[in-house]
Amino acid sequence: MLKRRIIQTLSLLLYNADMAKFKTGSISKSQLKSVCVPGLNCYSCPGAIASCPLGALQSALAEGRVPFLVGGIILLFAVMFGRTVCGFLCPFGLIQELLYKIPSPKLPKNEITRRLTLLKYGFLAVLVIGLPLAAFVSQGYGAPFFCEFVCPAGTLEAGLPLVLANEGIRGAAGALFIWKLGVLAVIAALSVFCFRAFCRFVCPLGALYGLFNKYAVFGLHFNAASCIHCEKCIKKCKMDTKVVNDRECIRCGQCVNDCPSRALTHS
């Protein structure tokens, strides 16, 4: 698990390599902004050297453009890795996992949490795809609704650093910023008691990757001949998995360590 934590931390630092912008309270103008990183990392984060795939997808739809480039990039990541991206390459996933380490009563996964995982597909269909397209069709322009009204990663990585470091932006912050702070506070609080609450119930990017989980090139390999059917892989998993490699599996590798018969390996 240490190896995974190192990869998560390196991803966070690499995505936001333009560190000087945090001090000035300005947004990086890296030439790589035309392409996307695999995980959720806000375009407006001061140090971000590339775009967020979710934000780029919404922006293209809101402008009435067919998202060939960002769609192709997301599809490539999805086909290659599925939700391995969530487990290894998402900075906001790392932050939630660190919050979960705070001592507190923990909410175990159950049938209710499994059903709540379907909410993220609603966020994907309505806020990421439906409303931006509908707004463009009705008035000629739309907006990245999920980014503007929900995304706590954007508030934490972009909104707060910019407001704290840039007096002009701080003076312009209004009711929408207060709303976004509230959303962030709720998600952060939930993450203390509920493992990766945002990833499980809200994140549209995780929903997209989850659709390709069973078919991704890299993931977890199950050796049926070695399995003793103890189900420790599922019982100890903190995500809402029913079988290894289903749509909720983030390939974190905990099950590989827990399997007494070594029936699971990273592929």
- pLDDT value of residue 171: 86
Binned at pLDDT 50, 70 and 90, residue 1 comes out as: confident
Per-residue pLDDT averaged across 43-50, rounded?
96
- pLDDT value of residue 202: 98
Task: Using a pLDDT cut of 70, give the percent of the chain over it.
Answer: 100
The model's pLDDT over 83-132, given as tens digits with 9 standing for 90+, comes to 999 999 999 999 999 999 999 999 999 999 999 999 999 999 999 999 99
Which residues make Cβ contacts (< 8 Å) with residue 253, sequence separation at least 6?
Answer: 1, 4, 87, 220, 266
Per-residue pLDDT averaged across 32-38, rounded?
95
The model's pLDDT over 126-173, given as tens digits with 9 standing for 90+, comes to 999 999 999 999 998 889 999 999 999 999 999 999 999 988 888 888
Over the chain, what is the mean pLDDT?
Answer: 94
- pLDDT value of residue 172: 84
The angle subtended at Cα 160 by Cα 3 and Cα 252, nearest 5°, is 20
The two tokens of residue 203 are: 């994140």
Binned at pLDDT 50, 70 and 90, residue 48 comes out as: very high
Kindly report the number of other CB atoms within 10 A of residue 171's CB atom.
9
Which residues make Cβ contacts (< 8 Å) with residue 220, sequence separation at least 6?
Answer: 244, 245, 249, 251, 253, 255, 256, 264, 265, 266, 267
The answer to whether residue 213 scores a pLDDT higher than 90 is yes
Is the pTM higher than 0.85? The answer reads yes
- pLDDT value of residue 169: 86
Range with lowest mean pLDDT among 4-13, 70-79, 220-229: 220-229
Does residue 110 contact residue 241 with C-beta atoms inside 8 Å? no
The answer to whether residue 218 scores a pLDDT higher than 80 is yes
Task: Using a pLDDT cut of 90, give the percent of the chain over it.
Answer: 88
Per-residue pLDDT averaged across 237-242, rounded?
95
Does residue 79 contact residue 61 with C-beta atoms inside 8 Å? no
- pLDDT value of residue 78: 97
The rounded distance, in Å, linking the Cα atoms of 59 and 67 is 9
Does residue 202 contact residue 123 with C-beta atoms inside 8 Å? yes
Per-residue pLDDT averaged across 62-75, rounded?
94
- pLDDT value of residue 140: 86
The answer to whether residue 201 scores a pLDDT higher than 90 is yes
The rounded distance, in Å, linking the Cα atoms of 239 and 96 is 13
Per-residue pLDDT averaged across 248-255, rounded?
94
The model's pLDDT over 168-191, given as tens digits with 9 standing for 90+, comes to 888 888 899 999 999 999 999 999
- pLDDT value of residue 90: 97
CA torsion sign, 127 to 200 to 193 to 47?
negative
- In 3D space, the residue among 141, 173, 137 whose CA is nearest the CA of residue 155 turns out to be 173
The rounded distance, in Å, linking the Cα atoms of 205 and 61 is 15
- pLDDT value of residue 80: 96
Place of tokens 């650093």: 161
Give phi and psi for 266, each to the nearest 5: -75, 135
